[in-house]
Amino acid sequence: MTNPLLQDWDTPFQLAPFDQISDEDFRPAFDAALAAHKDEIAAIADTPEPPTFANTIEAMEAAGELLDRVLGTFFTVAGADSNETREALQREFSPRLAAHSAEITGNTVLFQRIETLWAQRDDLGLTDEQARVLMLTRRGFVRSGAALQGAEAERMTEIKSRLAVLGTEFTQNLLADEREWHMELSEDDLEGLPGWLVSAAREAGREKGLAGPVITTSRSLATPFLQSSPRRELREKVWRAFTSRGGRGGKTDNRAIAAEILALRKERAALLGYEDFAHYKLETEMAGTPDAVRKLLMDVWTPARTQAMADAAVLENMLHADGITGPLEPWDWHYYAAKRRQAEHNLDEAQLKPYLQLDRMIEAAFTCANRLFGLDFAPLDVALYHPDCRAWEVTRNGEHVAVFIGDYFARGSKRSGAWCSAMRGQARFPRQQAPVVINVCNFAKGDPALLSYDDARTLFHEFGHALHQMLSDVTYESISGTSVARDFVELPSQLYEHWLEVPEVIREFATHAETGDAMPQDMLDKVLEAANFDQGFQTVEYVASALVDLEFHSGPAPADPMQKQAEILEQIGMPRAIAMRHATPHFAHVFSGDGYSAGYYSYMWSEVMDADAFEAFREAGDAFDTDTAQALEAHILSRGGSVDAAELYERFRGRLPGVEALLKGRGLIAA
């Protein structure tokens, strides 16, 4: 029987034929695709022809098409709709891929061809983009250990393989904890909960085969429960379950894994001659050095902590007014902050949420993209990997641009959080290739599905990443879309969040789920007025996580990450009633892979730019100003990693911004 993963896909836009693919197809397809890529790399390295950009760099760009296709399909379903078979395959594939990558960068003949081209680069007649690809290819080889020899090269291969295994284990342990824990609610326990949350809890119970409602550790259920339940003992139970993910002991405990990952990263950096992993990692980012990151974070930490401590005093007084003695606890913050917002802004999440329908927010994101960049979205009837998924063809002036897939609802088979990935990236070499982009979120299911304001921001955020992929217009896939510096990649996503707060967007798309009425003007005014509500809390929980990540990777690797985490939080004066957004055992950004390791700060680095970038539209007097949108696309969204990130931003704004715009945007200093 033929394996659909290894055939040409005669499907609309050559999408993966998910209705024909079974889990049994993945291993043989992976084996065949990996072997094919090995042969392609060997042919490039062993050719007797002298190295040229075409027969070496472009040949490497063209190689691995089948492997990319298999992996793009597999990792999409493994992350968003996992099962025991897929988890076992992940554990098998990850170290083999790490070994394969190490084999390529350790191919001394291939590396010598790249070095020859590097030495001749000024005489090769390369375009700017080709010169950039050559530089990035060589840098990637060097930073992967291509210049190492003997025992050091072997040790580097061992480290990479082990890190791949540990990252997969960390992710799967976290998913197991999230899937396993739930709290059943009696009818009495529903006191104070808004109707939409009760419905979502009943849906979560049905998914688990239970007759009644449950709260899980999905943020879309846990956070609104913490905001609305007057039952303090239940809030504490949910908060402790949510914050203990990955650290509950037993076979799914991630603490020892985190320690080993940090030690291996330190050793990896030392093999390459770096002081520590943070110096290694940040060398290629906009920030450049750990000191630059530390300065940014502390510049934000100080005013944010001051605001959070002032807020904590207000909330603690509210706690005491309810007859509860003792200090404000972390499981109290959301509840009393929600009451305070209701009192100060007369804004109740339960009243707001019916105006934030998922389908209308998707429509809003699409309409903004149309007004800014001329994109149109038409639903596609195609086979996808889960019934919850939806797909659209993206066009501009009648020309195909991309396929966009949305997978929005939380389920036990999906890892937590929200992300954007490209099952296929944009390229013009070796052939014209339009991207297939997917947004994955974890919103509570409902009929209709209703979002919190934070959920709506998440939807716009991930769609900003999707636009970065869809509007990419470069030659080589290795530098297309979001293939940019980690502390630049969040700029398009965080910038796009601003359009959710444009009054005319909310006015048009925030319509009541039952009546269809637009959000009343007074409620809209309150939403915009309250946009910076609780920013002290939100900034502190984020910056604390970013500082812990940075210090984990600076200096010696901590033998006990939990003790090191506690020391860092004590040193910076972490408010007792606020927890890190991501504590070590569930800090997937940092420990599930290398993506955000020593790089969680990048959201804030990008926010410095996004606050300034949206100011360009304000200066033009129109959030949909055509010239500014065209400049944004021309200088940032279409360029991928073809130009240095700082240069791209300077082309758009004429300068790099300071931290003041961010602090003003968050309401942490006077505007």
- Angle between helix axes 330-345 and 232-243 (nearest 10 degrees) is 120
Domain that holds residue 153: 4-175
Q: DSSP code of 515?
A: T
280 φψ region: left (φ > 0), alpha (ψ -120 to 50), beta (else): alpha
pLDDT band at 662 (very low <50, low <70, confident <90, very high): confident
503 cis-preceded (ω within 30 degrees of 0): no
**Which CATH number do you get for residue 645?**
1.10.1370.10
Classify burial at 263, counting beta carbons within 10 Å of its beta carbon; exposed 0-12, middle 13-18, buried 19 or more.
middle
Taking the whole predicted model, whether its pTM rises above 0.75 is answered as yes
Contacts of 530 (CB under 8 A, 6+ apart): 341, 345, 347
Examine residue 259 and state whether it is found in any structural domain, yes or no. no
Examine residue 393 and state whether it is found in any structural domain, yes or no. yes
Residue with the larger pLDDT of the pair 528 and 151: 151
User: So what's the pLDDT on residue 243?
Assistant: 97
User: So what's the pLDDT on residue 666?
Assistant: 85
How far apart CA 570 and CA 584 sit, in angstroms, is 15
Report whether pLDDT(413) > 70: yes
User: So what's the pLDDT on residue 659?
Assistant: 87
Condensed to tens digits (0 to 9), the pLDDT of residues 594-603 reads 989 999 999 9
How far apart CA 235 and CA 381 sit, in angstroms, is 42
Examine residue 463 and state whether it is found in any structural domain, yes or no. yes
Are 639 and 648 spatial neighbours (Cβ–Cβ below 8 Å)? yes
Q: DSSP code of 64?
A: T
Examine residue 49 and state whether it is found in any structural domain, yes or no. yes
How far apart CA 369 and CA 393 sit, in angstroms, is 14
197 φψ region: left (φ > 0), alpha (ψ -120 to 50), beta (else): alpha
Examine residue 360 and state whether it is found in any structural domain, yes or no. yes
Condensed to tens digits (0 to 9), the pLDDT of residues 96-143 reads 999 999 999 999 999 999 999 999 999 999 999 999 999 999 999 999
Q: How far is CA 587 from CA 539, 562, 578, 598, in A?
A: 17, 12, 16, 12
Residues 385, 476 within the same domain: yes
How far apart CA 185 and CA 212 sit, in angstroms, is 7
448 cis-preceded (ω within 30 degrees of 0): yes
Residues 600, 618 within the same domain: yes
User: So what's the pLDDT on residue 11?
Assistant: 97
Token pair for 665: 């945007």
Residues 14, 130 within the same domain: yes
Examine residue 511 and state whether it is found in any structural domain, yes or no. no
Domain boundary among 137, 155, 175: 175
Domain boundary among 503, 525, 559: 503
How far apart CA 243 and CA 581 sit, in angstroms, is 9
Are 492 and 465 spatial neighbours (Cβ–Cβ below 8 Å)? yes
pLDDT band at 605 (very low <50, low <70, confident <90, very high): very high
Residues 204, 97 within the same domain: no
Domain boundary among 175, 190, 222: 175
Residues 170, 185 within the same domain: no
Helix (H) or strand (E) holding 442: strand 436-443
Mean pLDDT of the chain: 96
Q: What angle do CA 635, 636, 637 make, to 5 degrees?
A: 120
Q: What percent of the chain has pLDDT over 90?
A: 93
Residues 359, 462 within the same domain: yes
Condensed to tens digits (0 to 9), the pLDDT of residues 431-440 reads 999 999 999 9
Residues 288, 187 within the same domain: no
* For residues 18-36, average pLDDT: 98
Residues 373, 310 within the same domain: no
**Which CATH number do you get for residue 373?**
1.10.1370.40
pLDDT band at 671 (very low <50, low <70, confident <90, very high): low
How far apart CA 482 and CA 597 sit, in angstroms, is 17
Residues 301, 386 within the same domain: no
* For residues 623-651, average pLDDT: 98
Task: Summarize the chain as % helix, strand, coil (round to 5).
Answer: 60, 5, 30
Q: What percent of the chain has pLDDT over 70?
A: 100
* For residues 374-379, average pLDDT: 98
Q: What's the number of domains the chain is made of?
A: 4
Q: How far is CA 257 from CA 168, 189, 370, 381, 561, in A?
A: 10, 37, 45, 43, 10
The residues carrying an active-site annotation are 462
* For residues 348-354, average pLDDT: 88
* For residues 571-579, average pLDDT: 98
Condensed to tens digits (0 to 9), the pLDDT of residues 294-314 reads 999 999 999 999 999 999 999
Examine residue 261 and state whether it is found in any structural domain, yes or no. no
Residues 455, 375 within the same domain: yes
* For residues 62-91, average pLDDT: 97
Residues 641, 619 within the same domain: yes
Examine residue 65 and state whether it is found in any structural domain, yes or no. yes
How far apart CA 216 and CA 184 sit, in angstroms, is 9
Condensed to tens digits (0 to 9), the pLDDT of residues 313-327 reads 999 999 999 999 999
Residues 187, 168 within the same domain: no
* For residues 262-278, average pLDDT: 98
